[in-house]
């Protein structure tokens, strides 16, 4: 889609008379399909079209992007209804995001853009040194990808930009899945990322999500303190997440469990690059089955971490997701040595902190253990939260100290 340069050409969409314009004025970034007047003209707009949003009395609220095919029919882009979405507009948003990350981190490995919280709805950008991975998860971002990429290169100086067009969010927007290098040379193998004293290997072209989960960085660091001198079990380990941080923090040994053989190979490579290969081992298999098998074997660990994928990605899956979190806790708790620690994580925004905490506590109790919560962790500061949007705060990590 061409950038809009003449505001008078931009269509107008309007909230229904009873829709809550106050929430939009106070910073809520979304308009749901049942809140917008969807006449034939609005329904005919192409996904990703820019439009001026008006309240029920035809007063402008800002510039939005419209997707009639999505439950989130409009996303706020700019409070200025005459804003021009071009390379300069993207550069301003990216520069603001970069300033925060450069203040927080000494090395260019972080989430650079966290969607709505950084003013770019539906856009995720993770940076791996000279490589950036962009997830354009909304139709407007797909349409404006050339301008976004040009601004990203100009602002950050990255040499390579990878488009990761995969995932559930794109399907909800009616977008096709696609992986492509959209700027610069393709990465030659995994990218080495130094974090929490360990080296991680991120497969930015074929790995899960963007290749690495930066959001858990502070929780990795906290768990590493609990792991000193102990035996560690890292379930749903991906490329070594908690396990490698624990070894770097002084753990005696670590066992990583994951269903993906490719992820475990990257974890092994990271352990080797960190000089910790002799203290690191892996076990491939379904996490629930491995936990049951370890229990039958009488295995015990000083620290057990379970960091599963989102069991409750949306409200319809909430009850089943909470049962899954409870089951994880029930199977993991007996594997913790007396006086040891259990860290349970959830990245399901549909399961709020209280619901997740209750499910975890029930599971621990049904596993025959009791304990105290010693720490509650969230995503790192490179994953800022938009206060008006609960979905931008999704990650929870609970650290329990279990009794004897």
β-sheet with 371-377: strand ranges across: 280-284, 253-258, 231-235, 301-306, 336-346, 396-402, 371-377
Residue among 360, 265, 347, 272 nearest 310 (CA): 347
Residue 2 inside a domain? The answer is no
* 143 φ/ψ sector (left φ>0, alpha ψ -120 to 50, else beta): alpha
Active site residue 347: yes
Residue-number span of the structural domain to which 97 is assigned: 87-183
We report the CATH number of the domain holding residue 220 as: 3.40.50.150
Check residue 5 and give its pLDDT: 46
Q: Is the pLDDT of residue 352 over 60?
A: yes
For residues 12 and 56, state if they share a domain: yes
Q: Which of 123, 347, 350, 351 is catalytic?
A: 347
CA dihedral 75→80→82→88, nearest 10 degrees, is -80
pLDDT tens digit sequence for 330-347: 999 999 999 999 999 999
Same-domain check for residues 265 and 373: yes
Boundary-marking domain end, from 43, 78, 113: 78
117: confidence class by pLDDT, cuts 50, 70, 90: very high
Residues 285 and 383 in one domain: yes
Give 202-258 pLDDT, tens digit per residue.
Answer: 999 987 889 999 999 999 999 999 999 999 999 999 999 999 999 999 999 999 999
- Nearest of 377, 376, 350, 346 to residue 363 by alpha carbon: 346
Is 1 inside a domain boundary?
Answer: no
pTM: 0.94
In a domain, 188, yes or no: no
CATH no. for residue 146? 3.30.750.80
Domain count, the chain: 3
Query: Running DSSP on this structure, what letter comes out for residue 220?
Result: H
> In this structure, are 168 and 25 located in the same domain?
no
- pLDDT score, position 8: 52
Asked whether residue 208 falls in the same domain as residue 124, the answer is no
C-alpha Rg value of the chain to the nearest Å: 23
């Amino acid at each position: 889609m061409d950038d809009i340069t003449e505001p008078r050409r931009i269509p107008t969409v309007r909230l229904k008379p009873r829709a809550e314009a106050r929430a939009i004025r106070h910073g809520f970034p979304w308009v749901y399909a049942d809140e917008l007047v969807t006449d034939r003209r609005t329904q005919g707009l192409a996904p990703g079209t820019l439009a001026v949003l008006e309240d029920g009395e035809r007063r402008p609220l800002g510039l939005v992007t419209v997707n009639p095919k999505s439950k989130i029919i409009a996303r706020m882009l700019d409070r200025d209804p005459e804003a021009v979405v071009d390379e300069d507009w993207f550069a301003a948003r990216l520069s603001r995001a970069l300033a925060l990350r450069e203040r927080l981190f000494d090395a260019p490995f972080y989430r650079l853009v966290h969607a709505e919280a950084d003013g770019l709805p539906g856009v995720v950008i993770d940076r791996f040194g000279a490589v950036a991975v962009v997830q354009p998860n909304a139709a407007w971002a797909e349409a404006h990808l050339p301008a976004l990429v040009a601004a990203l290169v100009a602002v950050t100086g990255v040499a390579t930009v990878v488009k990761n067009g995969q995932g559930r969010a794109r399907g909800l927007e009616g977008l096709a899945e696609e992986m492509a290098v959209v700027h610069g040379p393709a990465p030659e193998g995994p990218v080495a990322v130094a974090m929490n004293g360990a080296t991680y290997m991120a497969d930015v072209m074929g790995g899960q999500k963007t290749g690495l989960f930066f959001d858990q960085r502070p929780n990795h660091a906290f768990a590493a303190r609990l792991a000193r001198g102990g035996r560690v079990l890292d379930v749903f380990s991906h490329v070594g997440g908690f396990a490698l941080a624990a070894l770097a923090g002084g753990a005696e040994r670590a066992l990583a469990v994951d269903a993906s053989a490719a992820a475990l190979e990257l974890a092994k490579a990271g352990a080797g690059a960190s000089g910790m290969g002799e203290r690191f081992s892996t076990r491939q298999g379904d996490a629930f089955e491995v936990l049951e098998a370890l229990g039958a074997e009488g295995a015990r660990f000083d620290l057990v971490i379970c960091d599963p994928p989102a069991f409750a990605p949306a409200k319809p899956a909430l009850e089943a997701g909470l049962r899954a979190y409870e089951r994880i806790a029930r199977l993991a708790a007996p594997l913790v040595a007396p006086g040891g620690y259990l860290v349970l994580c959830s990245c399901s925004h549909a399961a709020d902190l209280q619901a997740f905490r209750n499910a975890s506590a029930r599971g621990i109790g049904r596993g025959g253990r009791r304990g105290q919560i010693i720490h509650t962790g969230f995503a790192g500061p490179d994953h800022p939260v938009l206060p008006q949007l609960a979905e931008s705060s999704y990650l929870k990590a609970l650290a329990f100290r279990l009794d004897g």
